[in-house]
Amino acid sequence: MELNTLTALDLIEKLDKKEISARDILESLEKSIKAKDAKIKAYVRSQALHLPEQSADYSKTTLKGIPIAIKDNICTEGFNTECCSKILAGFCPPYDATVIRKLKDAGAVIFPYKTNMDEFAFGSSTENSCFGPTHNPRNPECVPGGSSGGSAAAVASDQAIWALGSDTGGSIRQPAAFCGVVGLKPTYGLVSRYGLIAFASSLDQIGPITKDVSDCALLLSIIAGRDELDSTSVKPKECDYSASLGNDIKDMRIGIPKEYFIEGIDREVKKAVLEAVEVLKKLGAKCREVSLPHTEYAVPVYYIIATAEASSNLARFDGVQYGLREKAKDIIAMYKKTRDLGFGQEAKRRILLGTFALSHGYYDAYYLKATRVRNLIYQDFSGVFKDCDCIVTPTSPTAAFKIGEKIEDPLKMYLSDIFTISANLAGIPAISVPCGRTAQGLPIGLQILSKHFAEGEILRLAYAYEQNTSWHE
Protein backbone atom coordinates (compact mmCIF):
# COMPACT_ATOMS: atom_id res chain seq x y z
CA MET A 1 0.00 0.00 0.00
CA GLU A 2 1.28 3.47 -0.95
CA LEU A 3 2.12 5.70 2.00
CA ASN A 4 -0.02 8.56 0.66
CA THR A 5 -3.16 6.40 1.07
CA LEU A 6 -2.65 5.87 4.81
CA THR A 7 -4.05 7.92 7.68
CA ALA A 8 -1.83 10.10 9.84
CA LEU A 9 -2.13 7.70 12.79
CA ASP A 10 -1.11 4.75 10.59
CA LEU A 11 1.93 6.71 9.44
CA ILE A 12 2.85 7.72 13.00
CA GLU A 13 2.88 4.04 13.94
CA LYS A 14 5.20 3.22 11.05
CA LEU A 15 7.44 6.18 11.87
CA ASP A 16 7.65 5.07 15.52
CA LYS A 17 8.75 1.63 14.36
CA LYS A 18 11.29 3.27 12.00
CA GLU A 19 9.78 1.40 9.05
CA ILE A 20 9.63 4.65 7.04
CA SER A 21 10.92 8.24 7.19
CA ALA A 22 9.19 11.60 6.80
CA ARG A 23 11.00 11.94 3.48
CA ASP A 24 9.37 8.73 2.24
CA ILE A 25 5.90 10.18 2.90
CA LEU A 26 6.65 13.39 1.02
CA GLU A 27 8.03 11.44 -1.93
CA SER A 28 4.87 9.33 -2.02
CA LEU A 29 2.68 12.45 -1.99
CA GLU A 30 4.80 14.10 -4.69
CA LYS A 31 4.35 11.03 -6.90
CA SER A 32 0.58 11.09 -6.34
CA ILE A 33 0.33 14.79 -7.14
CA LYS A 34 2.27 14.41 -10.39
CA ALA A 35 -0.03 11.55 -11.42
CA LYS A 36 -3.38 13.10 -10.45
CA ASP A 37 -3.42 16.85 -9.93
CA ALA A 38 -3.38 17.91 -13.57
CA LYS A 39 -6.91 16.47 -13.65
CA ILE A 40 -8.15 17.37 -10.14
CA LYS A 41 -6.39 20.72 -9.61
CA ALA A 42 -6.52 20.58 -5.82
CA TYR A 43 -3.32 22.62 -5.52
CA VAL A 44 -2.19 26.05 -6.73
CA ARG A 45 1.31 27.59 -7.17
CA SER A 46 3.59 24.57 -6.91
CA GLN A 47 6.45 26.17 -5.01
CA ALA A 48 9.63 24.16 -4.52
CA LEU A 49 9.20 21.09 -2.33
CA HIS A 50 12.22 20.74 -0.07
CA LEU A 51 12.41 17.16 1.17
CA PRO A 52 13.69 16.71 4.73
CA GLU A 53 17.14 15.25 5.09
CA GLN A 54 17.16 11.53 5.79
CA SER A 55 18.76 12.38 9.14
CA ALA A 56 16.02 14.85 10.15
CA ASP A 57 14.88 13.89 13.64
CA TYR A 58 11.16 14.19 14.37
CA SER A 59 11.13 11.33 16.86
CA LYS A 60 10.41 13.52 19.90
CA THR A 61 7.46 15.31 18.27
CA THR A 62 3.80 14.31 18.16
CA LEU A 63 3.40 14.34 14.38
CA LYS A 64 6.80 12.84 13.46
CA GLY A 65 7.25 14.95 10.29
CA ILE A 66 3.90 14.13 8.66
CA PRO A 67 3.03 16.68 5.94
CA ILE A 68 -0.16 18.73 5.99
CA ALA A 69 -1.84 20.69 3.18
CA ILE A 70 -2.97 24.25 3.88
CA LYS A 71 -5.79 26.29 2.35
CA ASP A 72 -4.67 29.39 0.46
CA ASN A 73 -6.12 31.83 3.02
CA ILE A 74 -4.00 30.69 6.01
CA CYS A 75 -0.71 32.59 6.27
CA THR A 76 2.51 30.59 6.05
CA GLU A 77 5.83 32.40 6.32
CA GLY A 78 7.85 32.16 3.14
CA PHE A 79 5.03 30.77 0.97
CA ASN A 80 2.62 32.88 -1.08
CA THR A 81 -0.86 33.13 0.41
CA GLU A 82 -3.23 34.76 -2.07
CA CYS A 83 -6.80 33.59 -1.26
CA CYS A 84 -6.92 32.48 -4.93
CA SER A 85 -7.51 36.14 -5.87
CA LYS A 86 -5.67 38.28 -8.41
CA ILE A 87 -5.76 41.21 -5.99
CA LEU A 88 -3.40 39.37 -3.60
CA ALA A 89 -1.04 38.12 -6.31
CA GLY A 90 2.49 37.78 -4.97
CA PHE A 91 1.60 38.29 -1.29
CA CYS A 92 4.09 36.36 0.83
CA PRO A 93 3.33 36.64 4.57
CA PRO A 94 6.27 37.52 6.85
CA TYR A 95 4.76 35.40 9.64
CA ASP A 96 2.96 32.13 10.36
CA ALA A 97 -0.66 31.86 11.41
CA THR A 98 -0.98 30.51 14.96
CA VAL A 99 -2.27 27.16 13.69
CA ILE A 100 0.81 26.84 11.45
CA ARG A 101 3.13 27.59 14.36
CA LYS A 102 1.37 24.98 16.49
CA LEU A 103 1.65 22.40 13.73
CA LYS A 104 5.36 23.09 13.28
CA ASP A 105 5.90 22.83 17.04
CA ALA A 106 4.13 19.46 16.96
CA GLY A 107 6.46 18.20 14.22
CA ALA A 108 4.33 18.66 11.10
CA VAL A 109 5.86 19.47 7.73
CA ILE A 110 3.93 22.31 6.05
CA PHE A 111 3.25 21.32 2.45
CA PRO A 112 4.40 24.17 0.16
CA TYR A 113 1.55 23.68 -2.34
CA LYS A 114 -1.45 25.68 -1.10
CA THR A 115 -4.89 24.18 -1.77
CA ASN A 116 -7.36 25.77 -4.16
CA MET A 117 -10.41 27.66 -2.86
CA ASP A 118 -13.15 30.05 -3.88
CA GLU A 119 -11.72 33.57 -3.97
CA PHE A 120 -11.61 34.89 -0.37
CA ALA A 121 -13.75 31.83 0.54
CA PHE A 122 -16.72 33.27 -1.38
CA GLY A 123 -18.48 30.21 -2.76
CA SER A 124 -19.73 26.67 -2.38
CA SER A 125 -18.06 24.99 -5.33
CA THR A 126 -14.40 26.16 -5.70
CA GLU A 127 -15.34 27.56 -9.10
CA ASN A 128 -14.64 31.17 -8.03
CA SER A 129 -10.85 30.77 -7.94
CA CYS A 130 -8.57 32.87 -10.15
CA PHE A 131 -6.70 29.60 -10.83
CA GLY A 132 -9.80 27.86 -12.17
CA PRO A 133 -12.03 25.19 -10.59
CA THR A 134 -11.03 22.10 -8.64
CA HIS A 135 -12.63 18.82 -9.76
CA ASN A 136 -14.23 16.25 -7.48
CA PRO A 137 -12.01 13.13 -7.25
CA ARG A 138 -15.12 10.90 -7.16
CA ASN A 139 -16.37 12.37 -10.46
CA PRO A 140 -14.22 15.02 -12.21
CA GLU A 141 -17.30 16.46 -13.93
CA CYS A 142 -18.62 17.55 -10.52
CA VAL A 143 -17.56 20.25 -8.05
CA PRO A 144 -15.72 19.29 -4.84
CA GLY A 145 -17.76 21.76 -2.80
CA GLY A 146 -16.42 24.97 -1.40
CA SER A 147 -14.82 27.07 -0.37
CA SER A 148 -12.29 24.52 1.00
CA GLY A 149 -12.74 22.33 -2.08
CA GLY A 150 -9.03 22.07 -2.78
CA SER A 151 -8.29 20.76 0.72
CA ALA A 152 -11.12 18.21 0.58
CA ALA A 153 -10.19 17.05 -2.93
CA ALA A 154 -6.51 16.70 -1.97
CA VAL A 155 -7.37 14.46 1.00
CA ALA A 156 -9.99 12.44 -0.90
CA SER A 157 -7.61 11.76 -3.80
CA ASP A 158 -4.69 10.79 -1.51
CA GLN A 159 -2.71 13.85 -2.57
CA ALA A 160 -2.62 14.90 1.09
CA ILE A 161 -2.61 12.93 4.33
CA TRP A 162 -4.80 15.60 5.91
CA ALA A 163 -5.45 19.32 5.48
CA LEU A 164 -6.64 22.55 7.06
CA GLY A 165 -9.60 24.48 5.74
CA SER A 166 -11.70 27.39 6.93
CA ASP A 167 -15.44 27.37 7.57
CA THR A 168 -17.60 30.51 7.46
CA GLY A 169 -20.93 28.97 6.45
CA GLY A 170 -20.09 25.34 5.77
CA SER A 171 -16.85 25.64 3.82
CA ILE A 172 -15.22 22.66 5.56
CA ARG A 173 -18.25 20.41 6.05
CA GLN A 174 -19.90 20.76 2.64
CA PRO A 175 -16.75 19.91 0.58
CA ALA A 176 -15.98 17.10 3.04
CA ALA A 177 -19.46 15.70 2.32
CA PHE A 178 -19.10 16.12 -1.46
CA CYS A 179 -15.68 14.41 -1.51
CA GLY A 180 -16.40 11.65 1.03
CA VAL A 181 -14.01 12.68 3.81
CA VAL A 182 -14.32 14.01 7.38
CA GLY A 183 -14.52 17.77 8.03
CA LEU A 184 -15.00 19.58 11.35
CA LYS A 185 -15.92 23.18 12.15
CA PRO A 186 -14.87 23.88 15.75
CA THR A 187 -16.74 26.07 18.21
CA TYR A 188 -16.13 29.75 17.46
CA GLY A 189 -13.07 30.73 19.50
CA LEU A 190 -11.69 27.22 20.04
CA VAL A 191 -9.06 27.63 17.30
CA SER A 192 -7.13 30.87 16.83
CA ARG A 193 -7.97 32.91 13.72
CA TYR A 194 -4.69 34.83 13.86
CA GLY A 195 -3.19 34.54 10.39
CA LEU A 196 -6.45 33.55 8.70
CA ILE A 197 -7.23 36.14 6.03
CA ALA A 198 -10.69 37.24 7.08
CA PHE A 199 -13.95 36.74 5.22
CA ALA A 200 -16.49 37.34 8.02
CA SER A 201 -14.77 37.73 11.37
CA SER A 202 -17.70 36.69 13.58
CA LEU A 203 -18.24 33.47 11.60
CA ASP A 204 -14.81 32.23 10.39
CA GLN A 205 -13.14 29.20 11.94
CA ILE A 206 -10.15 27.08 10.94
CA GLY A 207 -10.68 23.32 11.14
CA PRO A 208 -9.41 19.90 10.00
CA ILE A 209 -10.23 17.85 6.90
CA THR A 210 -9.10 14.23 7.30
CA LYS A 211 -9.59 10.68 6.07
CA ASP A 212 -11.22 9.49 9.29
CA VAL A 213 -12.48 10.67 12.67
CA SER A 214 -9.38 9.55 14.60
CA ASP A 215 -7.14 11.80 12.52
CA CYS A 216 -9.67 14.62 12.93
CA ALA A 217 -9.52 14.34 16.73
CA LEU A 218 -5.71 14.31 16.71
CA LEU A 219 -5.42 17.36 14.45
CA LEU A 220 -7.98 19.31 16.46
CA SER A 221 -6.01 18.54 19.64
CA ILE A 222 -2.94 20.13 18.03
CA ILE A 223 -4.52 23.36 16.79
CA ALA A 224 -7.09 24.12 19.55
CA GLY A 225 -6.46 26.49 22.44
CA ARG A 226 -6.20 30.05 23.70
CA ASP A 227 -4.02 32.46 21.72
CA GLU A 228 -2.98 35.88 23.01
CA LEU A 229 -2.89 37.10 19.40
CA ASP A 230 -6.62 36.40 18.96
CA SER A 231 -8.85 38.09 21.54
CA THR A 232 -11.83 35.93 20.51
CA SER A 233 -10.05 32.66 21.32
CA VAL A 234 -10.66 30.75 24.55
CA LYS A 235 -8.99 28.05 26.59
CA PRO A 236 -11.00 24.80 26.26
CA LYS A 237 -11.77 22.49 29.17
CA GLU A 238 -10.39 19.52 27.22
CA CYS A 239 -7.57 19.46 24.68
CA ASP A 240 -7.02 15.74 24.06
CA TYR A 241 -9.92 15.02 21.76
CA SER A 242 -8.57 11.58 20.88
CA ALA A 243 -9.48 10.53 24.42
CA SER A 244 -13.15 11.21 23.56
CA LEU A 245 -13.24 8.44 20.98
CA GLY A 246 -14.98 5.25 22.00
CA ASN A 247 -17.65 2.92 20.73
CA ASP A 248 -20.16 3.45 23.53
CA ILE A 249 -22.92 5.91 22.72
CA LYS A 250 -25.59 4.14 24.76
CA ASP A 251 -28.25 6.52 26.04
CA MET A 252 -26.80 9.46 24.08
CA ARG A 253 -29.73 11.77 23.30
CA ILE A 254 -29.92 12.76 19.63
CA GLY A 255 -32.29 15.30 18.07
CA ILE A 256 -33.47 15.03 14.47
CA PRO A 257 -34.71 18.51 13.42
CA LYS A 258 -37.76 18.34 11.17
CA GLU A 259 -36.76 21.58 9.41
CA TYR A 260 -33.75 19.81 7.86
CA PHE A 261 -35.85 17.29 5.93
CA ILE A 262 -37.58 19.86 3.77
CA GLU A 263 -39.12 19.67 0.34
CA GLY A 264 -36.32 19.79 -2.22
CA ILE A 265 -33.87 17.60 -0.32
CA ASP A 266 -32.50 14.88 -2.59
CA ARG A 267 -34.26 11.55 -2.06
CA GLU A 268 -30.98 9.61 -1.85
CA VAL A 269 -29.55 12.06 0.69
CA LYS A 270 -32.64 11.78 2.91
CA LYS A 271 -32.58 7.97 2.70
CA ALA A 272 -28.86 7.76 3.59
CA VAL A 273 -29.20 10.08 6.59
CA LEU A 274 -32.26 8.25 7.97
CA GLU A 275 -30.40 4.95 7.57
CA ALA A 276 -27.52 6.48 9.53
CA VAL A 277 -29.98 7.40 12.29
CA GLU A 278 -31.06 3.75 12.43
CA VAL A 279 -27.42 2.69 12.88
CA LEU A 280 -27.11 5.11 15.80
CA LYS A 281 -30.30 3.71 17.34
CA LYS A 282 -28.90 0.17 17.13
CA LEU A 283 -25.81 1.41 18.97
CA GLY A 284 -28.02 2.56 21.84
CA ALA A 285 -28.61 6.23 21.04
CA LYS A 286 -32.01 7.70 21.91
CA CYS A 287 -33.27 9.58 18.84
CA ARG A 288 -36.28 11.86 18.66
CA GLU A 289 -37.67 14.62 16.45
CA VAL A 290 -36.92 18.21 17.52
CA SER A 291 -37.67 21.64 16.08
CA LEU A 292 -35.41 24.56 15.17
CA PRO A 293 -38.13 26.96 14.04
CA HIS A 294 -35.94 29.82 12.80
CA THR A 295 -33.91 27.62 10.43
CA GLU A 296 -35.76 29.07 7.42
CA TYR A 297 -34.19 32.46 8.10
CA ALA A 298 -30.60 31.17 8.29
CA VAL A 299 -29.71 31.78 4.64
CA PRO A 300 -30.90 35.43 4.42
CA VAL A 301 -29.45 36.23 7.86
CA TYR A 302 -26.11 34.69 6.90
CA TYR A 303 -25.85 36.49 3.57
CA ILE A 304 -26.54 39.85 5.21
CA ILE A 305 -24.08 39.42 8.09
CA ALA A 306 -21.38 37.64 6.08
CA THR A 307 -21.41 40.09 3.17
CA ALA A 308 -21.47 43.08 5.55
CA GLU A 309 -18.37 41.82 7.36
CA ALA A 310 -16.73 40.86 4.05
CA SER A 311 -17.20 44.35 2.58
CA SER A 312 -15.48 45.79 5.65
CA ASN A 313 -12.63 43.24 5.67
CA LEU A 314 -11.93 43.57 1.96
CA ALA A 315 -11.66 47.36 2.08
CA ARG A 316 -7.97 46.93 2.94
CA PHE A 317 -7.18 45.48 -0.50
CA ASP A 318 -6.78 48.63 -2.59
CA GLY A 319 -3.39 48.30 -4.31
CA VAL A 320 -1.48 50.20 -1.62
CA GLN A 321 -0.17 47.60 0.84
CA TYR A 322 -0.79 44.15 -0.63
CA GLY A 323 -0.60 42.29 -3.91
CA LEU A 324 -1.82 43.77 -7.20
CA ARG A 325 -1.37 47.46 -8.03
CA GLU A 326 -2.60 48.83 -11.36
CA LYS A 327 -1.01 51.98 -12.77
CA ALA A 328 -3.30 54.98 -13.11
CA LYS A 329 -3.21 58.78 -13.40
CA ASP A 330 -3.97 59.39 -9.69
CA ILE A 331 -4.53 57.47 -6.47
CA ILE A 332 -8.34 57.35 -6.72
CA ALA A 333 -8.13 55.96 -10.24
CA MET A 334 -5.54 53.45 -9.01
CA TYR A 335 -7.91 52.25 -6.26
CA LYS A 336 -10.74 51.78 -8.73
CA LYS A 337 -8.70 50.07 -11.43
CA THR A 338 -6.94 47.74 -9.00
CA ARG A 339 -10.15 46.62 -7.32
CA ASP A 340 -11.99 46.30 -10.62
CA LEU A 341 -9.32 44.05 -12.17
CA GLY A 342 -8.28 42.33 -8.95
CA PHE A 343 -11.59 41.09 -7.58
CA GLY A 344 -13.62 38.37 -9.28
CA GLN A 345 -17.34 38.56 -9.99
CA GLU A 346 -18.49 36.84 -6.77
CA ALA A 347 -16.19 38.99 -4.60
CA LYS A 348 -17.61 42.14 -6.21
CA ARG A 349 -21.16 40.88 -5.68
CA ARG A 350 -20.58 40.29 -1.97
CA ILE A 351 -18.80 43.62 -1.45
CA LEU A 352 -21.76 45.42 -3.04
CA LEU A 353 -24.34 43.48 -1.03
CA GLY A 354 -22.49 44.06 2.23
CA THR A 355 -21.88 47.74 1.59
CA PHE A 356 -25.57 48.21 0.79
CA ALA A 357 -26.65 46.42 4.00
CA LEU A 358 -24.40 48.69 6.08
CA SER A 359 -25.28 51.93 4.30
CA HIS A 360 -27.16 54.81 5.91
CA GLY A 361 -30.88 54.16 5.85
CA TYR A 362 -30.57 50.41 5.44
CA TYR A 363 -28.44 49.39 8.43
CA ASP A 364 -31.43 49.02 10.79
CA ALA A 365 -33.63 47.37 8.18
CA TYR A 366 -31.08 44.72 7.18
CA TYR A 367 -27.94 44.30 9.28
CA LEU A 368 -29.43 45.10 12.70
CA LYS A 369 -32.49 42.94 12.06
CA ALA A 370 -30.25 40.09 10.86
CA THR A 371 -28.23 40.17 14.10
CA ARG A 372 -31.45 39.92 16.10
CA VAL A 373 -32.65 36.90 14.11
CA ARG A 374 -29.18 35.39 14.50
CA ASN A 375 -29.77 35.46 18.25
CA LEU A 376 -33.09 33.65 17.79
CA ILE A 377 -31.30 30.91 15.82
CA TYR A 378 -28.80 30.59 18.68
CA GLN A 379 -31.66 30.34 21.18
CA ASP A 380 -33.27 27.56 19.10
CA PHE A 381 -30.13 25.46 19.48
CA SER A 382 -29.75 26.31 23.15
CA GLY A 383 -33.30 25.11 23.80
CA VAL A 384 -32.78 21.81 21.99
CA PHE A 385 -29.48 21.12 23.76
CA LYS A 386 -31.22 21.23 27.13
CA ASP A 387 -32.70 17.83 26.26
CA CYS A 388 -30.30 16.55 23.58
CA ASP A 389 -26.57 15.85 23.51
CA CYS A 390 -26.25 16.11 19.73
CA ILE A 391 -28.25 16.97 16.62
CA VAL A 392 -28.01 14.92 13.43
CA THR A 393 -28.84 16.32 9.97
CA PRO A 394 -27.79 16.01 6.33
CA THR A 395 -24.67 18.06 5.59
CA SER A 396 -26.05 19.22 2.25
CA PRO A 397 -29.46 18.86 0.58
CA THR A 398 -27.80 17.23 -2.45
CA ALA A 399 -24.66 15.36 -3.41
CA ALA A 400 -22.04 17.12 -5.57
CA PHE A 401 -23.47 18.94 -8.58
CA LYS A 402 -21.93 19.37 -12.03
CA ILE A 403 -19.31 22.05 -12.66
CA GLY A 404 -21.05 25.06 -14.19
CA GLU A 405 -24.52 23.93 -13.08
CA LYS A 406 -25.10 26.71 -10.52
CA ILE A 407 -22.38 29.26 -11.19
CA GLU A 408 -24.74 31.57 -13.13
CA ASP A 409 -27.45 31.42 -10.44
CA PRO A 410 -26.05 32.81 -7.14
CA LEU A 411 -29.26 32.06 -5.21
CA LYS A 412 -29.14 28.35 -6.10
CA MET A 413 -25.48 28.30 -5.12
CA TYR A 414 -26.18 30.01 -1.79
CA LEU A 415 -28.84 27.39 -0.95
CA SER A 416 -26.16 24.68 -1.11
CA ASP A 417 -25.17 25.78 2.41
CA ILE A 418 -28.68 25.80 3.87
CA PHE A 419 -27.92 23.00 6.39
CA THR A 420 -24.47 24.20 7.46
CA ILE A 421 -24.95 27.96 7.90
CA SER A 422 -26.84 27.80 11.21
CA ALA A 423 -23.86 26.28 13.07
CA ASN A 424 -21.73 29.30 12.17
CA LEU A 425 -24.45 31.77 13.13
CA ALA A 426 -24.81 30.04 16.52
CA GLY A 427 -21.05 29.50 16.95
CA ILE A 428 -21.49 25.78 17.73
CA PRO A 429 -19.28 22.87 16.57
CA ALA A 430 -20.29 20.56 13.72
CA ILE A 431 -18.73 17.67 11.84
CA SER A 432 -19.49 15.95 8.54
CA VAL A 433 -18.76 12.24 8.07
CA PRO A 434 -19.50 10.02 5.04
CA CYS A 435 -22.79 8.13 5.37
CA GLY A 436 -23.61 6.84 1.89
CA ARG A 437 -23.32 7.09 -1.87
CA THR A 438 -25.75 8.04 -4.61
CA ALA A 439 -26.52 5.71 -7.50
CA GLN A 440 -23.83 7.60 -9.43
CA GLY A 441 -21.28 6.90 -6.69
CA LEU A 442 -21.16 10.41 -5.23
CA PRO A 443 -20.61 10.65 -1.47
CA ILE A 444 -23.30 11.78 0.99
CA GLY A 445 -22.46 13.50 4.27
CA LEU A 446 -23.96 13.16 7.76
CA GLN A 447 -23.71 16.31 9.91
CA ILE A 448 -23.47 16.10 13.71
CA LEU A 449 -23.81 19.25 15.84
CA SER A 450 -23.57 19.89 19.57
CA LYS A 451 -23.41 22.72 22.10
CA HIS A 452 -20.47 25.08 22.50
CA PHE A 453 -17.13 23.35 23.21
CA ALA A 454 -18.70 19.87 23.02
CA GLU A 455 -16.32 18.71 20.28
CA GLY A 456 -15.68 15.60 22.35
CA GLU A 457 -19.35 14.63 22.08
CA ILE A 458 -19.61 15.00 18.32
CA LEU A 459 -16.31 13.19 17.78
CA ARG A 460 -17.47 10.32 20.01
CA LEU A 461 -20.73 9.98 18.08
CA ALA A 462 -19.01 10.34 14.70
CA TYR A 463 -16.39 7.75 15.64
CA ALA A 464 -19.02 5.25 16.82
CA TYR A 465 -20.90 5.64 13.54
CA GLU A 466 -17.72 5.39 11.48
CA GLN A 467 -16.55 2.21 13.24
CA ASN A 468 -19.86 0.51 12.55
CA THR A 469 -20.11 1.42 8.85
CA SER A 470 -17.75 1.26 5.90
CA TRP A 471 -18.45 4.52 4.08
CA HIS A 472 -15.16 6.13 5.21
CA GLU A 473 -13.26 3.32 3.49
Catalytic residues: 71, 147, 171
Describe the crossing of helices 369-384 and 298-313 by its angle, rounded to 10 degrees: 130
Contacts of 361 (CB under 8 A, 6+ apart): none
DSSP string, 33-100: HHHHHHHH--EES-----PPPTT---TTSSSTT-EEEEBTTB-BTTB---TT-GGGTT---SS--HHH
Closest to 269 (Cα-Cα) out of 467, 390, 418, 403: 418
How many whole angstroms separate alpha carbon 424 and alpha carbon 374?
10
Report the first-to-last Cα separation within the chain, whole angstroms: 14
Sign of the dihedral through C-alpha 182, 188, 192, 197: positive
196 by DSSP, 3-state: which?
Answer: strand
CA distances from 99 to 62, 117, 230, 271, 454 (A): 15, 18, 12, 38, 20
Q: Name residue 432's beta-bridge partners.
A: 183, 447
How many whole angstroms separate alpha carbon 461 and alpha carbon 467?
10
Q: Is the peptide bond before 147 cis (omega within 30 degrees of 0)?
A: yes
